[in-house]
Structure 1
């Protein structure tokens, strides 16, 4: 197999010229994400508020939750089965840097994701929106900006979307540092990061201008570090990572069980029914992608007991596994953040002497480390959740033993086994 050529280190003139389309890609990627989010929010209002009110159904009825999620599962299954493009790749088998979807699959991916987000499915938009934006940007560059080759187009679209998702180009820079460092070739790493960061910055700023909610929550500043904080923080991160590892072991089994039904309509409808039951049991906080729900429990930690928060995290991780296994399209980072933060808040409720910011950051960092297998993004999210740089030194220490727990565990992803091609002496099955 021929080896992929290294990414070249561009010159100053090239960087300056290509910064313009990179910024345009960032703005476009953010606008696509924003439009998809707003469409999903409008449909969510119709499904969960306007329609029940018009029909005289209490909006807090558990039967309404079950009905909406079952209907959502059926609708997504119909999209996967019958709409051209079949909603792209199964999100359970993809990572953030997965290959772009075919352009013809984009409408079906958008439809499946909007239905999932509006219907309360416990998945975020990250994997599908990156696939959508990569497909659009590759097609546009091939048509109008041929100086940007496809793999650079994919890099810029991915960077722009990550910047838009998390509201800062730092997330994209950290994710891509590992990717680009693995590419052999000379030149400065920052020369290679220049255009992706330009795209990510444009995406992040566009989302801020459009009024997207912040990923950072208001918590008291951290006064440490202290030895006891190092111990308790490590324990919280380890428990959070341990729950993620347990989920990673269960994930392929559950995925196989749902897909044994063969028909996407059947297994996605069944997944919707199970999610509806889980939502009725866990309540509204365990529905949807998890960002606003995370904000609710962080800003009102005294409203919930330690056992309630632990219960929320357990229901949410099961909902995440069911949603990802049953053929819904969506990412696993946003709901994983809710799970980790709820665990951290549960520890804080049990032991109030644990600083709130430390508990939140370590809880989120542990399970995100499992979900992404990327120490940079886990550290970034730990800081981003609290907005407190004072936590950075202690988190840099805590992540080390946590990584030792995670590094040999299975990924929170279903790895598809490719069937070997038959030799001329054996028939294809």
Structure 2
């Protein structure tokens, strides 16, 4: 999602969206015809996300509600938290190490726009995502489910519909983003940045038409089947006052600085885990560290973070500033460990929790700052680091508090925050921050070659 990169089409390849004619946009007939596969992709993307979430929820209920009672424990029992996360790490490590496809590319090295895996990797990706979501790992489902949906869409539609693979992948991204956030607006904002850098002709809405159709279908499908949304209700800001711009800027800056610090540390943590002999050892160790962090932070710092952000917002005065700071710090460390060790998952939902905690911290220590603006600024700052996308960062900030009045101050506050973020390290492992992605299979093969015993 960062830097307006285009959406890839085939696994591992970059792609573009928009019409091929550089002078004019697509015809009305073409848009209407292509809207059919776009809507189908959106519906399919939502259904696959819902199935993945449903499986994870069933397993989560068993692991954290049903099973602990058998041993006289609860979801908050320290030794149970440590045990579940350690065993989750072992299970994910075995799959990444031994199962064909090796759970696809390392999520720490990929954006929402790819690269995408081969078809044979999808079962292992689905397995590790369900295990991670259910086991309390601090990663969201966005990167893996987009990879699954894009690859499936290409395989199922590229041969039967006269739609380029590149465009199919872009529609799968849009449909999945719409389903993830429960609204097509999020996908439209993301694709506005993506198509803005393209040279294809036609109006912006010509180029957004098909992604918006896919995103709308995905969002509507999730709404119809009871999917979750990023939408909470806080006390409205009321009339904007000049002091709000200053205090909101402080909260957003603190949030962004925490994200920048995490992005700076990320390559070092990733390199340390990937120096271990094989993914089973690395991910098991990661699970153990996550277990310790879970014991320190409690259940509220586990899982992808969206439900837990809602828990914070449901009782904003129920936590001390020290607790909120601890929640934010522990969640950031858990995110870095989970992503670096080799768990598969996205980084957006965990940083939303972190931003929520920082926003509530700002609200607690700056009494003149309205809660809806405080939370919006906290979420916007660190999301901007994680996504490098101002539109989606503003959208998440507004959606969290449910107060449309914060849009105006957010559009002002984001400007200096963008200047802080634009040249800072990104929250992704790439050659630009000093480390080239290496597949799990290649890493394991390299280790075996280094440690092969000479014959005779």
2:56 maps to 40
After superposition, where does 1:69-148 map in structure 2 within 5 Å?
Answer: 69-145=85-161, 147-148=162-163
Superposed CA deviations along residues 190-209 of structure 1, whole A, max 9, x for unmatched, are 11110110000000011111
For residues 251-266 of structure 1, what are the structure 2 equivalents within 5 Å?
Answer: 251-266=266-281
Tell me which of 380, 397, 414 is aligned to 1:365: 380
Q: TM-score, normalised by structure 1?
A: 0.95
1:212 CA displacement: 1.4
Q: Tell me which of 166, 190, 197 is aligned to 2:181.
A: 166
Structure 1 residue 386 displacement after superposition: 1.5
Q: 1:282 aligns with which of 297, 300, 323?
A: 297
After the TM superposition, list the runs of 4 or more consecutive aligned residues in structure 1 that deviate by more than 2 angstroms: 3-7, 54-60, 416-419
Of the structure 1 ranges 92-101 and 229-238, higher mean CA displacement relative to structure 2 is found in: 92-101
Unpaired runs of at least 5, structure 1: 420-428
**Partner in structure 1 of residue 30 of structure 2:** 14
The unaligned stretches of length 5 or more in structure 2 are 1-13, 20-24, 438-449, 451-456
Partners of 1:7 and 1:185 within 8 A in 2: yes
Change (3 A) 1:58 1:386: closer
In structure 1, what is the Cα distance between the partners aligned to 2:403 and 2:361?
20
User: Could you state the TM-score of these two structures normalised by the residue count of structure 2?
Assistant: 0.89
Matches of 1:224 and 1:307 in 2, distance apart? 30
Q: CA deviation at 1:262?
A: 2.8
Contact kept? 1:100, 1:154, Cα under 8 Å:
no
Secondary structure of 1:400's counterpart equals helix
Asked whether the 8 Å contact 2:384–2:390 carries over to 1, the reply is yes
CA distance in 2, matches of 1:238, 1:7: 36
Q: Distance in 2 between matches of 1:4 and 1:221?
A: 41
Are 1:157 and 2:168 an aligned pair?
no
Describe the superposition over 1:314-360 as per-residue Cα deviations: whole angstroms up to 9, x where unpaired.
00000010001000000000000100110110111122321000000
How many angstroms apart in 1 are the aligned matches of 2:291 and 2:75?
14
Question: Does structure 2 retain, via aligned residues, the 8 Å contact 1:6–1:184?
Answer: no
How many angstroms does 1:224 deviate by?
Answer: 2.9
**1:13-412 maps to which residues of 2 (within 5 A)?**
13-145=29-161, 147-412=162-427
Deviates more, 1:222-231 or 1:269-278: 222-231
The aligned length equals: 417
User: Partners of 2:200 and 2:430 in 1: how far apart?
Assistant: 29
